[in-house]
Structure 1
Amino acid sequence: MKFSEEHIVSLIIAYQERVISDEEINELSEWLDADPDHANKFAKYLALLKEGKAVSQFDQIKSDEAWTKISKSLTMPKKETKVRKLKTWFPHVAAVVVVSLVSYFVLHQVSSDFDSNKTYNFAEVSTIGSKKAILTLEGGQKLKLEKNLTKVISEIDGTRINKDSTNSLTYNNSQSHKTKLIYNRIDVPRGGEYNLILADGTRVWLNSQSSLRYPVQFMGKTRQVELTGEGYFEVAHNPKQAFIIKARDTEVKVLGTKFNVSTYDDEEFIATTLIEGSVELSSLGEKIRLKPGFQAVIKRGDDEFQIQAVNTDLYTSWMKGVFEFRNHSLEDICHQLSRWYSVEFFFVENQYRQLRFTGAVKREKSIDFALEMIEKMANVKFAIKDDKIIVGRPTD
């Protein structure tokens, strides 16, 4: 039987994530037996996908070593496990493969010019984030929310929006009769953050590269908003009107509570962290209820939540002006720094992506402080190439 390239990739992902069915094991074995070169192709796919973070847990893969592990695993008894829907992931996997190949050539060129002995001023290619955003009114008018500017804005339904000197927005609960929902949207750019109080008293903090679409006045049986990026919510209690956050395929439903939602477009996962109260999560028909001190994570396009107890401070410190990391990978740390300081990172070698760090940095400090701290803790060096920060090893 001849299998398409798409089907082979889906089988390899299922095998790597240990969610492969008996039928798929047979198909994979048949494909491996059909051509001796398929073993090398199998191992190369695993290595390439690992570099792109589509799959994980294979360190320093070599073709023969990988095949030894694979051949042993294929003959071992399999644990019963839920088989996920994999075909919906192939477009993402294909994109990862293309990005990985392009990144290889870019990084090869960058690494040839890497000079770790030079002293760099990283402030030249980065900026410290600040409180800023763009407010879009119902009619499409865009207002730049700047510091030290007090202003009263009126919406078409008579709602008064107060912008105070601290650069925060407050929506006043209008007493006028409401006949339809009027929407506003706040877009927080890279290197920004913002906070506002909705008409029902709910407080919202938005992280960099985030947006929130919401009614200026709530009506009906629900209070529904749409989030992209990351937001921390303190929802005003109202048992007669549930508060719902739409985040791609996931809904977060609450009556009154404190929690954080991270749903960036460039990340595979949606993470909801509950600080106090109770929330109900639903995605593609699957529903769960979360308890305080727990986090629910779900892959984009999936219908199965992964729940774990967490230190909630790690996921809410950003809205208190602090980066806090505990055993985080350097790749994840750089990803967060890039949003706040408006700068891109490039890794000369993939081994540096998975270095783990624990620490805390105030967001008001320059990026030099954070990078210097990382350099002191590990055998890694940062440099500048064009307008990017390069991550590599010190020159001997």
Structure 2
Amino acid sequence: MESTDILKYLEGRSSEAEKRKLVKWLDASPDHVKEFEEIRFVFEMTKIYDSECREFLAERSDKPMKVRLGGRLPRIVRRLGGVAAAVVLFFGAGYLTYLHTVNSFSSQYTSLDVPAGQRVDITLADGSRVWLNSGARLEYPVVFGRHERMVKLTGEAMFEVEHDEDHPFIVRTFASDVEVLGTRFNVVADEKSRRFSTILLNGSLRLTERTTRAGAVLNSGDEAHWLNGRFSVSKVRDFDAVCWTEGLISVRGQSFEELMRKFETAYNVRIEIARQTMPVIGFASGKIRISDGIDHALRVLQHTSDFTFTHDPKKNVVTIH
């Protein structure tokens, strides 16, 4: 790590990627923590001894910062209090600064909102991957904390978590905390409709209800649904429910109204149902490719369902008749 990169952070000009790089560098060696503290100390002393410290930093700006006893930095330390200041600097402040830096970064959450009609996948700081469905929102820290890895989810997402038993991965939703004991799972957390469910593809999960603290443990092939503060756990009935990560929508087990709500999000369109009764979907199973568009999806359903539709592209409205 170049001293110029550290100075950039101290001046508040580092990007999130640069901050993550700095924390990984600090975590790699106690010597790095000491070096960071030495540079930080000189940087802060510029407020008191501006000209001397800036000259010192300028001399070192093109090479890694190494400060040894007998150099200019100890003379500055002596001017600030002698041996006591040096002891604090070299034997205590380094580790405290490291803790402060990690805690500071882990409390800085950023958010990612996925527009309707789109899907996004990202890789988090620990290497875990997250696929976000249309309309989902993920809040995550720039750098995970020292004790746990926590993210906050609204909407639907698929997680593939890097294993680290010393740092549990937790997905916080409006209904439940999902603690990852395994690797790959899908979560739906729709606070507006009070809908929460999760499907575990492999590994194990621990669910903890946010209000009552009631819990449940899932194993591979289990799914859980949340209703009135309680979890119902059963074997997965339809693995096609997670095919959205492949750009597909499953019609299995969906009512016409439920499917139209999914279409609205997936195709970024408003659907109005202008009829007294809902059509019945005649397919027992099947998948519709999102990239083929809303008109194609509705024409597929028309093969077994009795309805017509009109599409006004200017108003971005589909009306079901």
Query: Normalising to structure 1: TM-score of the pair?
Result: 0.54
Q: Which residue of 2 aligns with 1:295?
A: 223
Contact 1:238 1:256 in 2 (8 A): no
Q: Which residue of 2 aligns with 1:370?
A: 297
Q: Which residue of 1 aligns with 2:309?
A: 382
Alpha-carbon shift at residue 193 of structure 1 (Å): 1.1
Q: Secondary structure at the match of 2:230?
A: coil
Q: Which residue of 2 aligns with 1:3?
A: none
Deviation string, structure 1 residues 146-194 (Cα, Å, up to 9, x no partner):
xxxxxxx82286225xxxxxxxxxxx97223424213221111111111
Q: Secondary structure at the match of 2:296?
A: helix
Q: Partner letter of residue 117 of structure 2?
A: G
Q: How far apart, in 2, do the equivalents of 1:350 and 1:308 lie?
A: 35
Do the aligned partners of residues 173 and 373 (structure 1) sit closer, same or farther apart at CA in structure 2, a change above 3 Å counting? farther
Q: How far apart, in 1, do the equivalents of 2:179 and 2:116 lie?
A: 28
Q: Partner letter of residue 316 of structure 1?
A: V
Alpha-carbon shift at residue 277 of structure 1 (Å): 0.3
Deviation string, structure 1 residues 303-350 (Cα, Å, up to 9, x no partner):
211222224532210011111221311111111111011111122235
Does residue 313 (structure 1) correspond to residue 242 (structure 2)? The answer is no
Do the aligned partners of residues 174 and 356 (structure 1) sit closer, same or farther apart at CA in structure 2, a change above 3 Å counting? farther
Q: Which residue of 1 aligns with 2:257?
A: 331
Q: How far apart, in 2, do the equivalents of 1:312 and 1:376 lie?
A: 23
Q: How far apart, in 2, do the equivalents of 1:157 and 1:362 lie?
A: 38
Larger radius of gyration: 2
Deviation string, structure 1 residues 186-206 (Cα, Å, up to 9, x no partner):
111111111111111111000
Alpha-carbon shift at residue 355 of structure 1 (Å): 4.1
Do the aligned partners of residues 190 and 199 (structure 1) sit closer, same or farther apart at CA in structure 2, a change above 3 Å counting? same
Contact 2:116 2:265 in 1 (8 A): yes
Does residue 159 (structure 1) correspond to residue 20 (structure 2)? The answer is yes
Deviation string, structure 1 residues 29-64 (Cα, Å, up to 9, x no partner):
xxxxxxxxxxxxxxxxxxxxxxxxxxxxxxxxxxxx
Do the aligned partners of residues 287 and 179 (structure 1) sit closer, same or farther apart at CA in structure 2, a change above 3 Å counting? closer
Contact 1:188 1:194 in 2 (8 A): yes
Alpha-carbon shift at residue 264 of structure 1 (Å): 2.0
Deviation string, structure 1 residues 360-384 (Cα, Å, up to 9, x no partner):
1112111111111111111111124
Higher relative contact order (CA 8 A, sep 6+): 1
Contact 2:19 2:142 in 1 (8 A): no
Q: How far apart, in 2, do the equivalents of 1:256 and 1:175 lie?
A: 28
Alpha-carbon shift at residue 388 of structure 1 (Å): 2.0
Q: Which residue of 1 aligns with 2:95?
A: none
Contact 1:275 1:312 in 2 (8 A): no
Alpha-carbon shift at residue 356 of structure 1 (Å): 5.5
Alignment RMSD: 2.1
Q: Partner letter of residue 155 of structure 1?
A: E
Do the aligned partners of residues 350 and 222 (structure 1) sit closer, same or farther apart at CA in structure 2, a change above 3 Å counting? farther
Can you give the 5+ residue segments of structure 1 that lack an aligned partner in the other structure? 1-152, 161-171
Q: How far apart, in 2, do the equivalents of 1:321 and 1:156 lie?
A: 29
Residue number among 199, 203, 206 corresponding to 2:129 in the alignment: 203
Q: How far apart, in 1, do the equivalents of 2:191 and 2:172 lie?
A: 14
Q: Secondary structure at the match of 1:159?
A: helix
Moved more, 204-213 or 218-227: 218-227
Q: How far apart, in 2, do the equivalents of 1:236 and 1:154 lie?
A: 24
Q: Secondary structure at the match of 1:345?
A: strand
Q: Which residue of 2 aligns with 1:227?
A: 153
Q: Which residue of 2 aligns with 1:192?
A: 118
Residue number among 1, 7, 24 corresponding to 1:174 in the alignment: 24
Alpha-carbon shift at residue 292 of structure 1 (Å): 1.6
Contact 2:119 2:132 in 1 (8 A): yes
Contact 1:236 1:255 in 2 (8 A): no
Deviation string, structure 1 residues 104-135 (Cα, Å, up to 9, x no partner):
xxxxxxxxxxxxxxxxxxxxxxxxxxxxxxxx
Alpha-carbon shift at residue 353 of structure 1 (Å): 5.6
Identical columns (%): 29
Do the aligned partners of residues 235 and 324 (structure 1) sit closer, same or farther apart at CA in structure 2, a change above 3 Å counting? same
Q: Secondary structure at the match of 1:275?
A: strand
Residue number among 272, 275, 299 corresponding to 1:349 in the alignment: 275
Q: Secondary structure at the match of 1:368?
A: helix
Contact 1:279 1:289 in 2 (8 A): yes
Does residue 285 (structure 1) correspond to residue 213 (structure 2)? The answer is yes
Do the aligned partners of residues 216 and 275 (structure 1) sit closer, same or farther apart at CA in structure 2, a change above 3 Å counting? same
Query: Normalising to structure 2: TM-score of the pair?
Result: 0.66
Q: Secondary structure at the match of 1:175?
A: helix
Can you give the 5+ residue segments of structure 2 that lack an aligned partner in the other structure? 1-13, 27-97
Counterparts of 1:73-222 in structure 2 under 5 Å? Answer: 154-155=15-16, 158-159=19-20, 174-176=24-26, 177=98, 178-180=102-104, 181=106, 182-222=108-148
Size of the aligned set, in residue pairs, is 227
Moved more, 302-311 or 367-376: 302-311
